[in-house]
Amino acid sequence: MVPDYKEIKIVDDYTVRFITKAPTPEALYMLENISIVPPKYFQEWDKKDYAHLTRNMVGTGPYKFVEWVKDDHITLVFNKEWWGKKVDFERVILRPIPENATRVAALITGEIDACWGVSIPDIPAWKRTKTPM
């Protein structure tokens, strides 16, 4: 869901002003999932093919997409053209581990460096390792 806009103004190269039709305190939360893409890409996009957005990565950010292996991992590397603050890692591999016990075991053994979603019963085992979550 997006706010009900009255007007959107481009202030300068780094500022966009959103004017809503009514007070919208949750506007920032609503904007969290909106993607910014180059105009040409958006104009050429077939609006019936929503999966296209996930298959073809576009945009800007501190990392560049390198590889996606479905149901296994996504690899990102530092974007040397990134204009923001310095990142902590040159390379990041994101790997889904849906099974909680497997995810915690990977964290405890050092197979992965960090994770989220550690269940409450697994916290004492994790704390003994002093590994970041």
Q: What pLDDT is stored for residue 10 in this prediction?
A: 93
Tens of pLDDT, residue by residue over 48-79, are 565 555 566 666 689 998 998 999 999 999 99
Tens of pLDDT, residue by residue over 83-118, are 889 899 999 999 999 988 898 889 888 899 888 888
How far is residue 23's CA from residue 57's CA, in Å, rounded to a whole number? 33
How far is residue 73's CA from residue 75's CA, in Å, rounded to a whole number? 7
Q: Does residue 18 register a pLDDT over 60?
A: yes
To which residue do tokens 């893409």 refer? 37
* CB-CB neighbours of 94 under 10 Å: 9
If one compares 123 and 74, the residue with the highest pLDDT of the two is: 74
- Helix, coil or strand: residue 77: strand
pTM, two decimal places: 0.58
Nearest to 58 by CA among 29, 26, 36, 86: 36
